[in-house]
Chains A and B, each alone.
Chain A
Amino acid sequence: MKYTKRFDGRKFDELRPIQARVGVVKNAMGSAEFKIGKTHAIAAVYGPRELFPKFLQLSDRALLRCHYNMMAFSGSGERVRPGPSRRSKEISMVTEKALEPVVNLGEFPRAVVDVYVELIQTDAGTRCAGICAAALALADAGFEMKDLVAAISCGVVGDQPVVDLNKEEEDYEDGAVDIPIAVMPHTGQVTLLQLDGEIDPEHLRKALDMGKKACEQIADVQRAALRAKYTEE
């Protein structure tokens, strides 16, 4: 069936409302809060710091360790049992991979940079919100970075390419394809790409193009959040 109107009335290339702020965790080297629609993520960076046990140390660069976690009350429906799950471990790993290409980890061999991502409320697009918050937190912490990283879920619902799928769209009964991507906004290079569903190359191309454009919008919000810390009097 054709998907002609989005459940929440948005245009196909329209994002949910976004809010970003940095410096939200005073104890951390850098931190940020990123909200998209009702999905609410916080990220905090600790490091570079000494890494133990020694066998984990990398001789030529810092280890980037991401820790993604959902708060027990953050899921729609039942309580989420605390503790790492297979899903949270996978998301931690793809978050690392999405950020590694931009951060200069070579500056701190044998050390570790820990990035903690916590979800306070979830409504689809959580791994992407986490990556957006984490990239902001790393920039806020003063790391040398090639670029920021912005991330969004693009995809296809019914027959229609869209960006920023919400929960209803992910669960669309006539088929939805969910494609989380993370992009370095300056060059448009992709650092995270996953896909759930069935899609033909033409629709894939359309979805990815929309996703890249959406990431440019997100990057504008991220930049404004970093600047805001230094322009409020």
Chain B
Amino acid sequence: MITQSYVESLAMKGARIDGRKFDQYREVTIEYGISPKSAEGSARVKIGDTEVVAGVKLEVGKPFPDKPDEGSIMVNVELLPLSSSLFESGPPSQEAIELARVTDRGIRECHALNFKKLCVKEGEHVWLAFIDIYPINAGGNLFDACTLAALAALHDARFPVFDGKKVDYAERTKDQLPMERLPISCTVWKVRDQLLVDPLPEEEQAANARLTVVTTEDNKVCAMQKGGTEPLTVDEIMAIVDLAKNKSEELRRFFR
């Protein structure tokens, strides 16, 4: 029941509800292999009270006609009503779809995974990685939690055995997915004129704009997504990109 005006008035005084600095993340933990028997790869990410689990299921299928030598990913986010009274059962909401697509963009466009190395037989068989992401407790900043969980689950994944015809899920190899880059996403939110990262749900409600920036190890920006009802100036965008790059570098150490 913390109101928008309270968040705004704190922001104008240079403070946040939980006393953090504007560029400070809550405690981040990543646990690998939370569903080791059934998922080829899985992970649990906690950012403060926000908890998200992700799992990777690998299938062999036909490649897309325009990319006969490439595998692919399919990202799905389900905003479980289990995780918040604000989510309802039913088909994916706009929010869920945006989360999934931003996570997808961060992996696909940033070439986190080498799709060509997922090819088994050109034109016939390629690996498809299905990434399913579920919040367990929605406590703010699902954008960053979901993208981190997806990346962690991909890192945890090991190929099952494919004999040319069928996948044998009971047999898992030690072969990892061809991960080549570590794109990390950081979403920066704007409350009044204040930029902040890792918002609590009340801060997300009070914010009028947000920008998700995905950066790679070599300092390139490879995906962005703006949300919110208010516009951003180019100067603000560049300030956000700068902040996001630094925070992403901090988060990247989890994968080293």
Contact = CB atoms under 8 A, between A and B. Distances in A.
Q: Do chains A and B touch in the complex (CB under 8 A)?
A: yes
Interface of A: 24-28, 38, 40, 42-44, 46, 49, 67, 69, 71-79, 82, 114, 116, 118, 120-123
B250 to A, nearest CB: 25
Contacts of A78: 57, 59, 169
Q: Determine which residue in A44, A49, A72, A76 has the highest number of CB atoms from chain B within 10 A of its CB, and name it.
A: A72
B139 A116 contact: no
Contact of A123 (B37, B82, B84): B37
Given A27-B137, A27-B138, 19 more contacts: A24-B136, A25-B137, A26-B137, A27-B83, A40-B35, A46-B81, A46-B85, A71-B53, A73-B39, A74-B38, A76-B170, A77-B169, A78-B169, A79-B59, A79-B130, A82-B78, A118-B134, A118-B136, A123-B37
B82 A72 contact: no
B169 A73 contact: no
A45 to B, nearest CB: 10
Interface of B: 34-40, 42, 49, 51, 53, 55-57, 59, 76, 78, 80-85, 89, 130, 132, 134, 136-139, 169-170
Contacts of A122: 38
Nearest to A123: B37
Main secondary structure of the interface of A (DSSP, over half): loop
Contacts of B34: 120-121
Contact of A71 (B55, B83, B139): B55
A25 B57 contact: no
A71 B82 contact: no
A168 to B, nearest CB: 11
A72 B130 contact: yes
A72 B83 contact: no
A179 to B, nearest CB: 24
A76 B139 contact: no
A118 B80 contact: yes
A29 B195 CA distance: 33
Contacts of A121: 34-39
Contacts of A77: 169
B49 A73 contact: no
B56 to A, nearest CB: 7
B82 A118 contact: yes
A27 B59 contact: no
A116 B81 contact: yes
Contacts of A75: 38
Contacts of A44: 82-83
10 contacts: A25-B137, A42-B82, A67-B89, A72-B57, A76-B170, A77-B169, A78-B169, A79-B57, A79-B132, A121-B38
Given A71-B55, A73-B132, A79-B59, A25 B83 contact: yes
